[in-house]
Amino acid sequence: MNQSALDLNSQRILVTGGAGFLGKQVVEQLCQAGASADKITVVRSRDYDLRQLEHCQRAVDQQDVVIHLAAHVGGIGLNREKPAELFYDNLMMGTQLIHSAYEAGVQKFVCVGTICAYPKFTPVPFKEEDLWCGYPEETNAPYGIAKKALLVQLQSYRQQYGFNGIYLLPVNLYGPEDNFDPKSSHVIPALIRKVHEAQERAEAQIPVWGDGSPTREFLYSTDAARGIVMGTQFYNDSEPVNLGTGDEISIKDLIELICELMGYNGELVWETDKPNGQPRRCLDTQKAIEQFGFLAEMQFRHGLQNTIEWYRQSLLHSA
- Residues serving a catalytic function are 143
Within 10 angstroms of residue 215's Cβ, the number of other Cβ atoms is: 18
Distance between terminal CA atoms of the chain?
A: 49
Calpha distance 33→29 (Å, rounded): 6
Ordered DSSP codes for 76-105: HHHHHH-HHHHHHHHHHHHHHHHHHHHHTT
Cβ–Cβ < 8 Å for 192, 209: no
CA distances from 144 to 17, 68, 131 (A): 18, 16, 11
Cβ–Cβ < 8 Å for 247, 280: no
Q: Which of 243, 247, 222, 220 is nearest to 289 (CA)?
A: 243
Q: Which of 314, 170, 317, 159 is nearest to 241 (CA)?
A: 170
Q: Which of 272, 172, 284 is nearest to 218 (CA)?
A: 172
CA distances from 225 to 25, 144, 148, 295, 309 (A): 6, 20, 20, 12, 21
Sequence-distant (6+) residues with CB within 8 A of 253 are none
The angle subtended at Cα 85 by Cα 84 and Cα 91, nearest 5°, is: 95
Q: Is the Cα torsion angle 70, 50, 314, 190 positive or negative in sign?
A: negative
Ordered DSSP codes for 236-284: --SS-EEES-S--EEHHHHHHHHHHHHT---EEEEETTS---SS---B-
Within 10 angstroms of residue 63's Cβ, the number of other Cβ atoms is: 23
